[in-house]
């Protein structure tokens, strides 16, 4: 009797779990195929020292990469450094530095006190420096494109 009861319990348990196992087997990342992409961005022959580069596919998720101080980048779409989806992309580059000549806080308390004043320091002069012309940050005006293929891709953008 014990064997029959144990068998019945196992059988019922399997019947209850079977649909869930079938559903779970079909669930997984339904992602488009990507390929590694790296490269370098220069402006007037010098490396662009910081910024972000975007690869915009015709449809789907764009890829992005941080530009390192030597101008190099690698792209990420879903997972770190996985690359970009296959196909043709519009490329944009955002590269700016914010300069602030105002006094810098020397402690957390001083930073909080400066923030609580709520008024900007009249002696502080902030400005944004474009490292590349602003047209490259807009998809409509960048004029940059790249085609990602099923291989390791390398693109250099000499602006």
What is the band of 11 on the pLDDT scale with cuts at 50, 70, 90? Answer: low
Mark out the alpha helices in the chain (DSSP H runs).
Answer: 2-26, 108-117
Q: Which domains does the chain have, with CATH numbers?
A: 34-158 (2.60.40.10)
Among 52-66, 86-100, 115-129, the range scoring the smallest mean pLDDT is 115-129
CA distance 96 to 114: 25
pLDDT at site 107: 83
Contact predicate 11/49, CB 8 Å:
no
Residue 35 or 108, more confident: 35
C-beta separation of 97 from 43 below 8 A: no
Instruction: Read off the pLDDT of residues 89-106 as tens digits, 9 standing for 90 and up.
Output: 999 999 998 777 666 778
Strand 63-67 and strand 51-57: the pairing is antiparallel
- Secondary structure class of 12 (helix, strand, coil): helix
| Residue 86 pLDDT exceeds 80 | yes
Return mean pLDDT, the chain.
Answer: 84
Per-residue model confidence as pLDDT tens digits over 17-55: 666 555 555 455 689 999 999 999 999 999 999 999 999
């Amino acid at each position: 009797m014990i064997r029959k009861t144990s068998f019945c319990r196992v059988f019922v348990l399997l019947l209850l779990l079977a649909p869930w196992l079938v559903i779970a087997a079909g669930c997984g990342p339904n992602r488009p195929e990507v390929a590694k992409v790296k490269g370098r961005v220069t402006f007037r022959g010098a490396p662009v020292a910081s910024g972000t580069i975007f690869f915009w596919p015709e449809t789907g998720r764009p890829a992005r990469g941080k530009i390192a101080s030597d101008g190099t980048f690698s792209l990420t779409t879903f997972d770190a450094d996985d690359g970009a989806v296959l196909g043709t992309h519009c490329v944009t580059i955002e590269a700016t530095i914010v300069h602030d000549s105002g006094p810098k806080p020397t402690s957390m308390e001083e930073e909080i006190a400066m923030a609580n004043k709520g008024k900007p320091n009249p002696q502080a002069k902030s400005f944004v420096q474009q490292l590349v012309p602003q047209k490259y940050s807009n998809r409509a005006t960048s004029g940059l494109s790249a085609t990602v293929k099923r291989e390791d891709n390398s693109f250099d953008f000499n602006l």
